[in-house]
Structure 1
Amino acid sequence: MIKAYYLDGDRLRPVTWESADKARIVWADLFGPSTAEERMIEEWLGIGVPTREEMEEIEISSRLYVEDGAYFMTATLPAHTDGDNPVMAPVTFVLAGQRLVTIRYNEPRAFQTFPMRAEKAATGCTTGELILVGLLEAIVDRLADILERAGRDVELISKGIFHPTAKKASKRDSDFQDILKQIGRKEDLASNIRDSLMTLQRLTGFLGHAVAQEKTGRDTRARVKTLSRDVISLSDHVAFMSQKVTFLLEATLGMINIEQNAIIKIVSVAAIVFLPPTLVASIYGMNFEIMPELRWGLGYPVALGLMVVSAIMPYLYFKRRGWL
């Protein structure tokens, strides 16, 4: 599918590719293009567009390059980011003179919100270069929103770890299992966003070099520099969040170990407390014929009392030592 846009002053106006005047198109957005659609774009631009396999190459030379006067820039962007399992896929931006072409196989939120905003309000999109800068700013803003939401979720996880509401050990164990799953999802999300920001950081550096080579306006160069600084700031933030998630993982495992040690301690103390009574009962359970207490009238209550005392004494000792 190809979405095309005209310039309407400093706004964007969507048009259908089939009926559009190709000379007036300033931005062509290819979403899951077919081979025929790729050929139409290549005929329109006069240059080749990368295939999906080429877009997925991880080498910088395959993602950032200049060919026939056009700048090719590929970044990995997330889609379906309302949950913790975003779909990561490469998106290629082709800046050919005053025209912009984007090639993608997923649908990041910015590709929906930016055209709508650029259609309704004056955003200064007068060239393909400025459209690219505005689109990248929308992408970075969306990534910042994702990180803010993830940061709030991490704070809630932290409260669940260090301030558990469950009183029963079994309920706390179940809660800790859920927390471990949440931590795993947040770490996956942070890892995906970190990878995306790394590709954007390279892209903005390449774009800054491109606008310097093309001698564009000072405002555009300043916006690209600001964009690059924003990406670096978000990279630092996601690194901090990843460290915090790692800390919460270790804290959760530590709390689980404490719970398990408490259970083992209770079982161990119970075994030691009941060991002396078991010894007394074992002695008087022997079947020897000659035992002085067998015909003693007070033998039974004395044996019971001895078992009770032998159980209480270890308990009081452990209590005094602070082991309970």
Structure 2
Amino acid sequence: MIKAFVVENDRLRLTDSIEADKDKVVWADLFNPTREEEAMIEQWLGVGVPTREEMEEIEISSRLYVEDGAYFMTATLPSQADSDDPVMSPVTFVLRRNLLVTIRYHEPRAFTTFPMRAEKASTGCTTAETILIGLLEAIVDRLADILERASRGVEAISKDIFNPTATKASKRDRDFQRLLKDIGRKETLTSDIRDALTSLQRLSGFLANAVGQGKNGKDAKAHVKTLSRDVLSLTDHANFLSQKITFLLDATLGMINIEQNGIIKIVSVAAVVFLPPTLVASIYGMNFELMPELKWLFGYPFALGMMVVSAILPYWFFRRRGWL
């Protein structure tokens, strides 16, 4: 599918007839393009567009390059990021003279919100360069929103770890399992956003050279520089968030170890407390004929008393040492 936009009254307008407005189109957005649609765009650009396999290559030379005067820039962007499991896929931006072509196979939200805003109000996006910069700014804003939501989620996880509400051990175990899953999802989301920001950071540096060729190159470069600073600040925040998630993972595992150690300590103390009474009972349970206590009137109470005292003494010792 191809969406073609033209500039009308300093606003973007989605054209109803690509052929009729062919000379006016400033932005062509290809979403899951067919081979015929790719051939049409290649005829407009005068150069071939990358295939999906070529877009997924990770080498810098395959993502940022110039071919016959056309600038090819590929970035990895998320879609369906309202959940903790976004879909990551590359998007290619092709800039040649006054034509911007975007090629994508998923639906980042910026590709929906930016055209709607540019159609309703004048945003200053009247050329291919300014449209590309405005689209990238919308993408960065969206990534910032995702990071903010991830930050709130991480804060909620932190409170659940260090201020648990469950009192029963079985309930705490289920809570720890849930927390580990939540931490894993947040780490995946943060990692995906860091990947997107890294690709955008490289793209913005490459774009600064591309937009500097036009008559409004100075203003465009200033916008790209601002965009690059925003991406850098978000990258720093994503790195901080990733470190915090790692800390929370370590803290959760530490809390689980404390819970397990507490259970093992209780079992160990119980074993030590009941070991002496068991020893006393075992001694008097032996079937030997020459055992004087068997003939005593108070032999049975004496044995019971020894068992009670032998159980109390270890318990008192543990309490005195602060081990309980």
Scaled to the shorter chain, the TM-score interval is over 0.9
The sequence identity of aligned pairs, in percent, is 75
The range that moved more, 140-149 or 205-214, is: 205-214
- How far is the alpha carbon of 1:292 from its aligned partner? 0.8
TM-score, normalised by the number of residues in structure 2? 0.98
The aligned runs of 1:1-324 (5 Å cut-off) are 1-18=1-18, 20-324=20-324
Q: Deviations over 1:165-217 (max 9, x none)?
A: 10011111111111111111111111111111111000000001112233534
Q: Distance in 2 between matches of 1:174 and 1:293?
A: 53
- Structure 1 unaligned runs (5+)? none
Superposed CA offset, 1:243-291 (max 9, x none) = 0000000011111000000000000000000000001100110001121
State the SS of the aligned residue for 1:213: coil
Distance 1:18 1:71 in 2: 23
Structure 1 stretches of at least 4 aligned residues deviating more than 6 Å after TM superposition: none
Residue type of the alignment partner of 2:240: F
Matched letter for residue 159 of structure 1: K
Amino acid at match of 1:232: L
Contact 1:77 1:108 in 2 (8 A): yes
Contact 2:212 2:218 in 1 (8 A): no
Unmatched tracts of structure 2, length 5 or more:
none
Contact 1:201 1:231 in 2 (8 A): yes
Distance in 2 (CA, whole Å) between partners of 1:304 and 1:3 is 91
Check whether the contact 2:212–2:220 (CA below 8 A) recurs between aligned residues.
no
> Structure 2 CA distance, aligned partners of 1:62 and 1:17?
33
Q: Please give the alpha-carbon distance, in whole angstroms, between the structure 1 residues aligned to 2:297 and 2:260.
A: 47
CA–CA distance in structure 1, aligned partners of residues 32 and 253 of structure 2:
43
Residues matched between the structures, number: 324
How far apart are residue 218 of structure 1 and its match? 2.8
Whether the aligned pair in 2 keeps the contact of 1:2 and 1:17 (CA below 8 Å) is no
TM-score (norm 1): 0.98
Q: Distance in 2 between matches of 1:20 and 1:249?
A: 58
- CA distance in 2: counterparts of 1:254 and 1:306, whole angstroms: 41
